[in-house]
Structure 1
């Protein structure tokens, strides 16, 4: 054949474009109402559900692929010099090969050292935004746009930033390429609620009393974890100064309550231990609690402060070596004791647990050493797949309670076709059955026969801890043999073979 037909497949063709998808939502609803993105179908399958917007970037290896940024920059320079379908395709395909969360910082450093025509940079960045059918291309284009004076594209950037997958990149572009960026970042922080809010608040500068007040009242509240932003909001918002007032508003009290709870949480990233104004803030909060403490959530924070103040002396020796003084601890202890001594909140918590489940009410009841196990079992009848109830009962470490819970689970969980919630409940149960030989064997059997690798492993470790006679039962052996021959996990296969 003298003639040949060359087929050229362009990676952005015949696919929904991401930026118009976001713009349509914002134009109609003034916010993003659908977190999904058009390229989800390329990234996820029927088993792997889409991640929360912005979460994936936190998992990306921050060690860039060697020479990747350098090669991508070379392609983009070539595209700017000669913007054809061929050069744009080469850049586009290179962008979607890796994640900008990994190489972005290096790319920006290199890009800012290159002599360039800003108008050409912007033209090609806008072309990418117009045609992008993959999220990495949007992130790249926003980053490149932010390396120029992009004042006239503020509105476009803001709209893109309202989708939390792109908020952190838009914040960079606003700070780097526009004037009065802080006002835009604050506005954006009030529009988003998850990873995007975390990114925006971390970059927000508390340049006015209004921003400081917002940080203390609304700043750390988000759909991910308050613990991510509690320290940032306390620090930037000058919480210690705000609480020095003789009287504070209910709004400020609620905001401080949220921040202090998060700082005291075991999972806090920057905790109360790192906070230099901890003694002032806790002292003033306890002072204001005499007026404002009127809900279980309010008292829960006081309970956590009490536990913090009454930690082991060895812990306090270390604190005294940092930024605490003995008289500060003694003053808080003395001030909080009357609020703890009354039993009002133990009765309130008990009353709540008689009608519905509330984790904070449960912790308060346990703080006052109340036995609420019967209440938990009653609630379990209403909510047989509430994993927190299983955890709470297992935490009693009481033989009779655990046997009763296993019996309940055997009759109320669909052991042959476990739902996701039921799998969680079963996980909470069997992970602590090692010391309860023979208890919950049908649950162990169900875990072995499930297609959940974590459940299978937990069941195998329980059988390993029990007497070998139990694992030799025919039905149990059949399930173990199946794991030994079919499991994709090497450790599971090894453990199963040992039990055989």
Structure 2
């Protein structure tokens, strides 16, 4: 840097790879995105967590905090970063000051400073061109995520259409999508098309951040995409279902004379998400819900049955049933009509035939989906679940469903099956209080799925309960005590009380020990 000349150098800030280099490498290998999971291993990723620790990626924290928590601004960090920007933008930039900016920006969560930092730039009337250049310097040379995010914030405050390619490239990293999306919205004349391009490059929280900024769009291509694919994401479709239904105008699309399969399947998944409710607007917030759910049932009258469409039917049916019971704002006559329509559609043999066909092969890729549907259609499935468990003894969902749909005779058979298929001697491996995340805990979770359903079968599964009382997972020990507590006193043998007494003596979790002692006192 020459004295007296305002110019930013290209020297690296440290010896780590930059986020830009990482994004360029992913783009060269895999195209514009979405990129495979290797893209999520970022240049500043922390070392592997110690056993028992949980590492929550920043993209997840930013998503959760921006949607579900108030952001507490860090006034001190804002002032310090703004002072560095002031010094750099109004004086002759030095390498040391650039390094200080990168270091200070990297130390604070970007969400805690972004809005107030933009306000400070405006209040101090810092030169926009130089702030843009500083933003690009952080974005292009940054080796730590928060520094790069703040670079994108600066571009969003003072950038222009020339920054489009950089924003799209860095925004293709899910960690940075939120900040790139805001910057694109603030800098691009064709805001909708830029956001559309970014949204298609990501599939997790990044998809959510980008699609939320397409709310109210009027581009026919984007509206059609929202209804068929745009709402889909790796977090929860519930976050974007309402945006898609309203901004994509689902009702008008379903009234078209030729509704294509992709649109029908999109409608099934959108209505499923709206009916289930969750972290965003749901069916009760959707003005066109009543005519849309009616039209959906009509369209399925002569269309090919699939599990995806059946899931939509079942979820909407269940929603309508809840509305009947809870006093819905919908007119009672309309609710009764919808209820009849959905029940009639679901009694058509083609739906149960579809489910049973998938369940006939225990290796079917959609076996779990068919199992759930079978329960909603009240189809007997325990023998088919036994066949599944014979080839996959660690299928916790199969155990969970089987024991809860079993007759008393079937429950005894399932407990015998669990004793034969699960490594019971290895599961008396506690007590403890650990996170059961990872494949190594699959046997423990399978046992929990069975024991958790034994409260309905007095006297059944005692060998499983004995093992469960000594397991390393606290939740499983509690399930064992709860099962015994739910049985009539004469169904609990004295030896089972002795098991609980010995377990309580060494139980490390106070609440679980209290439950064990309460059970012993009650008997």
TM over 0.5: yes
The answer to whether the Cα contact below 8 Å between 2:84 and 2:97 also exists between their aligned partners in 1 is: yes
Matches within 5 A, 1:75-474: 75-80=84-89, 81=91, 83-204=93-214, 205-267=216-278, 269-311=280-322, 313-315=324-326, 318-319=327-328, 322=329, 324-356=330-362, 358-396=367-405, 398-415=407-424, 416=426, 419-433=440-454, 439-444=460-465, 446-447=467-468, 449-456=470-477, 458-459=479-480, 469-470=494-495, 473=498
Q: 1:110 to 1:452 in 2, by over 3 A?
A: farther
- Cα shift at 1:201: 0.7
Q: 1:52 to 1:373 in 2, by over 3 A?
A: farther
Unaligned runs of at least 5 residues, structure 2: 1-10, 428-438
Q: TM-score, normalised by structure 2?
A: 0.81
Report Cα offsets for 1:51-101 as digits up to 9, x if no partner. 567212134453325523334333443344464344344433433333223
State the distance in 1 between where 2:376 and 2:516 align: 42
State the distance in 2 between where 1:498 and 1:283 align: 51
Superposition RMSD on alpha carbons, in Å? 3.3
State the distance in 1 between where 2:177 and 2:281 align: 22
Unaligned runs of at least 5 residues, structure 1: 1-9
- Cα shift at 1:396: 2.3
The answer to whether the Cα contact below 8 Å between 2:466 and 2:496 also exists between their aligned partners in 1 is: no
Aligned length: 481
Q: 1:496 to 1:372 in 2, by over 3 A?
A: closer
State the distance in 1 between where 2:109 and 2:203 align: 23
| SS of residue in 2 equivalent to 1:166 | helix
- Cα shift at 1:154: 1.2
State the distance in 1 between where 2:108 and 2:510 align: 30
State the distance in 2 between where 1:400 and 1:365 align: 20
Report Cα offsets for 1:380-414 as digits up to 9, x if no partner. 11221111112212322644444433333333223
Q: 1:29 to 1:370 in 2, by over 3 A?
A: closer
Matches within 5 A, 1:32-47: 32-33=35-36, 34=38, 35-42=40-47, 44-45=49-50
Q: Per chain length, whose mean CA-contact separation is higher, i.e. which structure has more relative contact order (CA < 8 Å, sep 6+)? A: 2
The answer to whether the Cα contact below 8 Å between 2:305 and 2:354 also exists between their aligned partners in 1 is: no
Q: 1:332 to 1:312 in 2, by over 3 A?
A: closer
Report Cα offsets for 1:330-377 as digits up to 9, x if no partner. 443454454233323223322321213634433443344332211111
| SS of residue in 1 equivalent to 2:405 | coil
Report Cα offsets for 1:412-461 as digits up to 9, x if no partner. 22342682322322333334445656654554555555544444555566
Report Cα offsets for 1:455-484 as digits up to 9, x if no partner. 45555666777869556647x766655543
Report Cα offsets for 1:134-163 as digits up to 9, x if no partner. 211111111111111232221111100111
State the distance in 2 between where 1:230 and 1:151 align: 30
Matches within 5 A, 1:480-495: 480-484=504-508, 491=511
Of the structure 1 ranges 375-384 and 28-37, higher mean CA displacement relative to structure 2 is found in 28-37
Q: 1:430 to 1:364 in 2, by over 3 A?
A: closer
Of the structure 1 ranges 45-54 and 202-211, higher mean CA displacement relative to structure 2 is found in 45-54
| SS of residue in 1 equivalent to 2:175 | coil
